[in-house]
Structure 1
Amino acid sequence: MATTFDHGGGVRSVAVPIPDNPLGHTLVHVVETDRGPVLVDTGWDDPGSWDTLVAGLAACRTTVGEVYGVVVTHHHPDHHGLSARVREASGAWVALHPADAAIVRRTRETRPERWYTYMAAKLTAAGAPEEHVAPLRTPRPRSLPGLSPALPDREIVPGELLDLPGRRLRAIWTPGHTPGHVCLHLEEEHPARLAGHGRLFSGDHLLPGITPHIGLYEDPDDTTVTDPLGDYLDSLERIGRLVPAEVLPAHQHAFTDAPGRVRELLAHHEERLAGLLALLAEPLTPWQVAERMEWNRPWGQIPYGSRNIAVSEAEAHLRRLVKQGRAEAVTGSEPVAYVAV
């Protein structure tokens, strides 16, 4: 039985489950157009999730076969996972920002062993203990989700209207959570005449009660020193200035007062950076920083895969402090340690 929501004005959503994940589900938005429905995201590639999407579209009085296009907010498997199946069933086009399309291409072309080697090197450089890194050196063959995601047919051009006949949906590039994350601004009066400028499909960029993960952009071949947290904070301010009447995110629920939520998230990250600076009174590696940062549970209870994500998030915050001139790497330290300036 699919859970669906009618947001009015020819916009509905289907809650598509994410297996074994505390987030629970991805909200796949269904936008009516003159050529058939266009989906914003598709959900996780899993048989149960597919069945829910099919049932949800039926509840929205349409079918997968009628889908005209798929706009993917970003490449993560709970958003892009079912895009290939939707395209096979309907002939729909699939659109993604070029920066995330590049990740999809790389993921499809890279052997899993290359990722294990890369992750082992990254974690060692971040100061992870040998017992954490060791399993990556002798990987057991296993299938990882999202290893052969759909190659998009179209690239999303920021600032341009997307191909939704009879609707006005404009792409806004909001890097941070991923390098090619986009929000989508429906430039039409709110069906309930709420104050503000249209409606915003915010993907994972702006959520009502969760702070999205901001880690390093993973590219084994790119040596550029990126600043994902800086990208995210800049993108947040851009969305705040837009003042949409309502936000339709990919998780949790629709909400209003986007500028208020943006202010909360900016304050949250500034508080985290200040806390991190206090920790850096002594030199610490990214791993040691992650061990000492506040998470939703004690470090000892954080599972293996989540520790890798936590270290990436710690590194993103360290990069921001370095870029702001508030911290620096200790010369000659190996693994690299950081200290407050």
Structure 2
Amino acid sequence: MKKILILTNMGPFTGNEYSGQFVIDQYNSMRSINNNSIELLLMSPNGNGPLFSICKYFIFLCKFIVTSIRRHTFDIIHVHYYYPTIILAVIYRLFVNRHVKIIVTFHGSDVYKYKHPPFLYRYLFKFVNHSIFVSKHLVDNIKIPIDKNKHSTLSVGAKYLEPNIGDDIFDFSFIGTIDDNKKIIEFINIANNYNKKQLNIVIAGYCIREKEFKKAIEESIHKIKFLGTVNKQKVFDIFNQSRFSLNLSTYESFGLSITESMLVGTPVVATNTDGSTEQIIDNENGYIINFNDREILQVLDLTSTITNEKYSELSYNAKKSSEKFLLSEVIEQLENLYDGVCNE
């Protein structure tokens, strides 16, 4: 039986307890299949600043060394988030087990942030046996040569939870980090120019831009409900109570919230990103827009006046097309990939 170590620097932290949850979900799902042949080592990134960054990686390294000494026969190390986590996997190959296979899943920012990748980023990639990209367009953005026979596209996988029925019905929902990338604050401000009806909007997630967000809500002409960080069950409940959900990222490699929304039949209005085009076909199972005043106001009008027949079509197509991104489907493909890499 293959012995696998999942290695990631994406873990839960104070204020965002569900950060990296998709990696934990993959681990738990595979562990239920493989019993004790798979281990997870993750870093919880609490704190800010360069000094703390050094400390947390030092602790992560120490945990990795202990794991390597205790279990020095891993067949596969699967790295989630390439750089700098790949350094640990390469250390393991060079000093512990030179036969270990290294698989890397690129999640987005480990590609987008490195438009001019440093030497170590480029050099360490030669140790990777197989690379996984969470969307097919993400691979187009990486600035190192990729062997087309040694990479694949595989989403992170959505763990579906049956939603509870709620009393509230929202025109739009947004679930995600409220930061510069996910432009929900800008959306609220632009939506003030739409006065054909008062929109009912629900927002949930970890808020980084607190002052700006609070100001936008206070000045909005629409009804906005903020729930803070919510658990996964509540995510599905919110999407199920929404006519549409929003994904307004500047960069989005996949967009798990897109999948979760579509799984309950709630179409998504999304900006044009690698993640949205991976999942949404414009006007078929949702809408893809460019983030500007004109297109946002147009889509607000479109979604407010949509016929029941058209909405049912979008909803049905959204649910049907998202099923291939379910966690169970992803795990099956991942198991096959592990077998293939081990047999190379």
TM-score by length of 1: 0.34
Tell me which of the two structures has the higher relative contact order, counting C-alpha pairs closer than 8 angstroms and 6 or more residues apart.
2
